[in-house]
Amino acid sequence: MIPPRLARFLERVGPLYIGGAFEEAAGGERIEVLDPSTAEPIAQVARGGPEDAARAVRAARRALEGAWGRTSPDERGRLLFRLAEAIEAHAEELAALEALNVGKPIGEARMADVPLAAQHFRYFAGWPTKLTGEVLPVSLPGRHHVFTRREPVGVVAAITPWNFPLLIASWKLAPALAAGNAVVLKPSELTPLSALYLAELVEEVGFPAGAVNVVPGRGEDVGRALVADPGVDKVSFTGSVEVGQAILRQAAETMKRVTLELGGKSPNIVFEDADLERALKGSLFAAFFNQGEICAAGSRLFVPRKAAAEITERLVEEAKRIRLGPALAPGTQMGPLVSRSHLERVRAYIELGQKEGAELLVGGGPAPEAGPGFFLRPTIFRAEDRHAISREEVFGPVLAVLAFDDLEEVVRRANDTPYGLAAGIWTRDLSRALRVAEALGAGTVWVNGYYLLDAAGAWGGFRASGLGREMGRYALEHYTEVKTVWLNLG
Ligand code: NAD
């Protein structure tokens, strides 16, 4: 079931990628990487530490001062195009790798993770030749010619989570490289494999040494060292709110630029005039795609009180039909959670939901027939806003269904959260869709759809869900500094 090219990769994977070379960690230690479908080890990867982080930052700096810094915009674009094509040429191995390491169904990795990652590099490949400054019409007395330049920020530390390892790495690498930065990528210690596969592709397509470095390791070791390192100019982080806050505090010491993509508790609102078939399908997708391990999961489903019984009954029936199984098996619709400790965390939320009085309608328990891994059945609660499962990010397949009576009330309740990453609306009434989209405090609002993403879009959170934006031209603003040049013409 593991493609032969991938089997060969699993045999050789291990070393870190620093300055264009694959090397062991300074401490000589390794991290055991598991397959969550079986709970068995699949690879041993070098466990980077602070010394490796410092070495990677120095390699990135040398690249900026050397060959990478001298690369023309056209050549940067060409390298990014080549990387997009290499990802497509290795799509099957990468999809299998994400399934194997994260536990996501291979069909989803083929449909989403890998093509979207390739699209991201292709989109940003077009930008290096179009990044311009402008001439400013100043009014200062005298004669001046004033213009701006967009320059790379410098060395970027990209710190990523375990739920979309390849895709989220591409959200950071593509715009950072397009703008001429050098990057040190620190993948999650749970899922470092696709980042190391990508490092091989970076090497193969010919990026100058040090433009991209990959240092797996624990957040407390490599992540923290990168954020503290005065040689890092910017941190681009995706992960939990707590770690995001710690990074922001720590980055203040060296005045680093910081962008944060953090958690969410996204509302998904079905209005009474919605196309119910589409809304139900979309709401299940919103709650259970990627095992619900997704920052933008539509984990608070608001339904009209009058239709609540019918909607919940149909959701429960559909949830029972979702096929759980090993991530690499062709018919699997939902894989295991990423780790035993994460499974325990999600189960603790389910127990808390029951203790607080939410009504468990389906799921909640393990699925031993799916395999020996970290499986959890899709879970639906009839809940209230006060329950922890309706307020806190569970990051698993747990859906809270909440009844509402009118529009103003549902908008107020949807916005009653410290988060603001995404929201969904299902309605046929265009003016209602636009009014509610305007009223919701979220970085992205989807109308009659969910998880619609594109490299040309913009992605990021309001409030506790983050700082800054990824994707599209918005991302480039965070990977460049604006320099103003004044010429006094006398
Ligand atoms: P996490 O915050 O535990 O870890 C994220 C990364 O940070 C990992 O690589 C980890 O090793 C590293 N890290 C941990 N401590 C660190 C420290 N002190 N300094 C520097 N780096 C450190 O998150 P996770 O469990 O990997 O991922 C789940 C979280 O990510 C959820 O909260 C989810 O909502 C969020 N997420 C957000 C988005 C988005 O686009 N907004 C996308 C995916 C996931």
Question: Atom 38, ligand 1: which residue's CA is nearest?
Answer: 295
Predicted pLDDT of residue 132 = 96
161 CA closest ligand 1 atom index: 26
Cα 399 to chain centroid distance, Å, stands at: 20
Predicted pLDDT of residue 5 = 87
Per-residue pLDDT tens digits for 273-312? 999 999 999 999 999 999 999 999 999 999 999 999 999 9
Residue of 293, 295, 393, 470 with catalytic role: 295
Predicted pLDDT of residue 1 = 72
**Residue 211 to residues 37, 76, 182, 382, 391, Cα–Cα distance (Å):** 35, 11, 5, 50, 41
* CATH number of the structural domain 267-458: 3.40.309.10
Task: Copy the structure tokens of residue 413.
Answer: 């309740």
Please say whether the beta carbons of 40 and 326 come within 8 A. no
The domain 4-262 having CATH identifier 3.40.605.10: the answer here is yes
Candidates 287, 262, 292, 303; CA nearest to 419 is 262
Per-residue pLDDT tens digits for 119-130? 999 999 999 999
Told to judge if 93 belongs to the known catalytic residues of this protein, a careful annotator would answer no
Q: Which residues of the chain have pLDDT under 70?
A: none
Please report the beta strands in 87-246, taking only residues with DSSP state E, as ranges in sequence order: 144-152, 155-159, 182-186, 212-214, 234-238
Question: Atom 23, ligand 1: which residue's CA is nearest?
Answer: 239
Predicted pLDDT of residue 295 = 97
295 CA closest ligand 1 atom index: 34
Predicted pLDDT of residue 271 = 98
Told to judge if 295 belongs to the known catalytic residues of this protein, a careful annotator would answer yes
Domain ranges of the chain: 4-262, 267-458
The helix or strand, by DSSP H or E, that contains position 196, with its residue range, turns out to be helix 193-205
Please say whether the beta carbons of 266 and 421 come within 8 A. yes
- What distance in angstroms lies between residue 241's CA and the mean position of ligand 1's atoms? 8
Question: Atom 39, ligand 1: which residue's CA is nearest?
Answer: 261
